Structure 1
């Protein structure tokens, strides 16, 4: 007979410390991925002037990243599951750092756009690997809730920090440092995960579903590209043509995934109602967060006349409130359960956007922006924490990577739709307003915020109708992987 001895107290304490250090480095990687979705935005005018880039080509500096990230996230999640999540993380961190270095050193537009596409490609492997490693490191209980609170708040913090850091670097150093800054961040995350995180990967068959890979990549890529082209008008062939192609390819993808033996996306991951609620909430929250923040910063810079760095500083209240709210939400999540905060958070988000509909050319930051930023931070903090938990709750450990990819893909596609739709709305409302330029722009931004409020409101009924997991199961009090439901 053999007897299994418990770990000595020193060993148990060391494991606990290692787990929390792992969270730091994994969250840092996620921060970098989200940061790069916005850090270049404020640098675009100066970058365009220095490199002689045309207006049409300028859009590809942003689009190339979003397109590669959205197209390959599902494949990245499966590679992480099959190849090894730690190995995938280290490879992706290295690739992301090298692509960032290439972007900072670029001398021609094609070099810069290629570097952005490579950043997106490696981010598509890095993001799901990081979230999957977090899921394995924190399998359940209150510690998992705290870990996911930190990780969940990164989406909002990273987007806002990208604006702040991008403005600072552009104003005081060079737009090239919007790329170079990723190199030390990636290096710290890589070394930390290499030393602190154990390898994990899926067992059993590790065959890739190549038809599914092709349909998912082209389908998601077509959707992102179509939404991005909406600035040319929704009636333009390059808009509706790619969107329809993307929808058709994703429908074919679902059919294929039902039939193949080793699917890229096991439909059980997306079809469970609580996780489905998380993916839908991620999609809508991405539209509000990424699209909304873009136009908030347009108003602060163009209408109120703030310099890029000062505009970034002006967005800090939202970030601070989001972090505080996420911490409070995580602490009380075992008692509240996921439904209440996911349903209440959108009310604060919608209230923020409705407040912003009152923006005027002669408005002020303290009156028109600050209250809305505080409300938005509260709403995002309430939504992101349970959303990240739900997206991975009860997922088989072999599917952790692809589930992580799906929640990231949902937010990315939502953000692309938000930017595209809101850009079209702003352009139409500005043109219809006439009058003084700043008045017309303010009217355009006001129309955008009405639409953003509508997107935010939709999250609440999704939470109320689909989330039915019990508080005890969600908090880790039960051992079953199958969510208990309230009848």
Structure 2
């Protein structure tokens, strides 16, 4: 693939572009040695398209499993006897391990080669999916979801690293990143449809069994077509990974317990304090580590720091949207899981339409405007949706707000991802890719815990009315998170891009 020339659109740095995949390349060399080798032996654009397809389908599995469970939650709660707050651990067990180990997974790709760890991660993820589908108890289900998180923690950063190393900054990467980001948006919404369909026709378990044959096919294709990346010397920062994972888990545990015991109870305060201490130790360890999983220099860029903050807030709001809206349409409207999944189609279709147009929009309007427009639209749609109550009609109270949310997400994800990985030095490529996904997952877990705890305080004495009131409260919280994301874009990312012109 020929490296695309950069255009002054705010989507790639002006002037010579530092190579992001080969440390010895001069700053003006836009095509790394590994990339040239892959290009020369690849057979051209068809091979590049196939590489992108393998990466996107595999990442699609990860995102799909983050949402496929939502439409099955009522069935799972009935089968396994979960409480209202305990139900959130089905999601949190996955996203916490996913987010906490992502940086270690990214480091594994740097040390052993991203294609190799990509393959191993597909094995772990497929096996864990089989165990989730076969779960016979609550602890088994949560443990298998955590194991899925381990596989996802290695797969996601390896996929993003393979993508950034295969496509040069500029038009080529913008298009590849748009496809990758579209997968993230569509996977979340499509997972609801797939989860609802199989839950209706077979069981909530069947959606997880689907990952096994898909994973096997992706393994075969990856061995045949994905190029291996250059290995780097070094070692794992195990202490940093454990502190990040355990610290985040402690915070989530404290927030979830607050719903049952109150914010001043020891069961709440102890894990919250422990989480804060562990995360402070994590920062201290990363400052001193010779090869940290989170090089603190990644935060030196105002744009990247803004992208991390924006992503945490944005994805936290979106997971609350999926978690509560899926339960609302089933419990209040009395819809089946399939109908609940199809209820998200207005968002899914609009998301896709906008996502595929993002590369052209970026060239015309620049990254800051498109990102800001996307986050603002999502916030407006979420504020509208948060007005839910027991008598809200689907068309005007749910479907139309979803159209706006879908348009916003379709616009926002690609430029948000690009702002988080652009300009990262070659030696930090794995950590940079991992950090983008880490803030995504940790933000999701923390936000879902807060939204669940806040929603659990609402009680009307009637089951359907409780779900409606709690959903409206939680979605109001999501709208607040998105308003904060707008502030982050306007105060951090927009000024940073302007200063680069």
452-461 vs 310-319, which moves further: 452-461
Which of 47, 69, 94 aligns to 1:40? It is 69
* Separation (CA, whole Å) in 2 of partners of 1:183 and 1:264: 30
Corresponding position of 1:269: 298
Output one character per residue of 1:19-67: Cα deviation in whole Å (capped at 9) or x when no partner.
1211111111211111112212332333454456677765543332223
Is contact 2:74-2:327 (8 Å) kept? no
Is contact 2:178-2:359 (8 Å) kept? yes
Give the match's secondary structure for 2:43: helix
* Separation (CA, whole Å) in 2 of partners of 1:115 and 1:242: 23
Corresponding position of 2:474: 448
* Separation (CA, whole Å) in 1 of partners of 2:138 and 2:463: 31
Which of 440, 448, 452 aligns to 1:419? It is 448
* Cα pair distance change 1:266/1:26, threshold 3 Å: same
Which of 97, 103, 108 aligns to 1:68? It is 97
Corresponding position of 1:214: 242
131-140 vs 32-41, which moves further: 32-41
Corresponding position of 1:90: 119
Give the match's secondary structure for 2:44: helix
1:280-291 matched pairs, under 5 angstroms: 280-291=309-320
* Cα pair distance change 1:40/1:444, threshold 3 Å: closer
> Which structure 2 residue ranges, 5 or more long, are not aligned?
1-32
Is contact 2:109-2:158 (8 Å) kept? yes
Give the match's secondary structure for 2:234: coil
C-alpha deviation, 1:135, in angstroms: 0.8
Which of 281, 292, 302 aligns to 1:252? It is 281
Is 2:478 the partner of 1:463?
no
Corresponding position of 2:12: none
Give the match's secondary structure for 2:220: helix
C-alpha deviation, 1:220, in angstroms: 2.9
C-alpha deviation, 1:335, in angstroms: 3.2
Corresponding position of 2:142: 113
Normalization by structure 2: what TM-score?
0.86
How many residue pairs match? The answer is 464
* Cα pair distance change 1:182/1:392, threshold 3 Å: same
Output one character per residue of 1:185-224: Cα deviation in whole Å (capped at 9) or x when no partner.
2223222222222111453x31223332332232233334
Output one character per residue of 1:351-386: Cα deviation in whole Å (capped at 9) or x when no partner.
112211332322211111111000001111121110
Is 2:344 the partner of 1:309?
no
C-alpha deviation, 1:295, in angstroms: 1.6
C-alpha deviation, 1:286, in angstroms: 0.9
Normalization by structure 1: what TM-score?
0.88
C-alpha deviation, 1:297, in angstroms: 1.7
Is 2:198 the partner of 1:169?
yes
Corresponding position of 2:395: 366
Give the match's secondary structure for 1:37: helix
Which of 391, 408, 413 aligns to 2:420? It is 391
Give the match's secondary structure for 1:353: helix
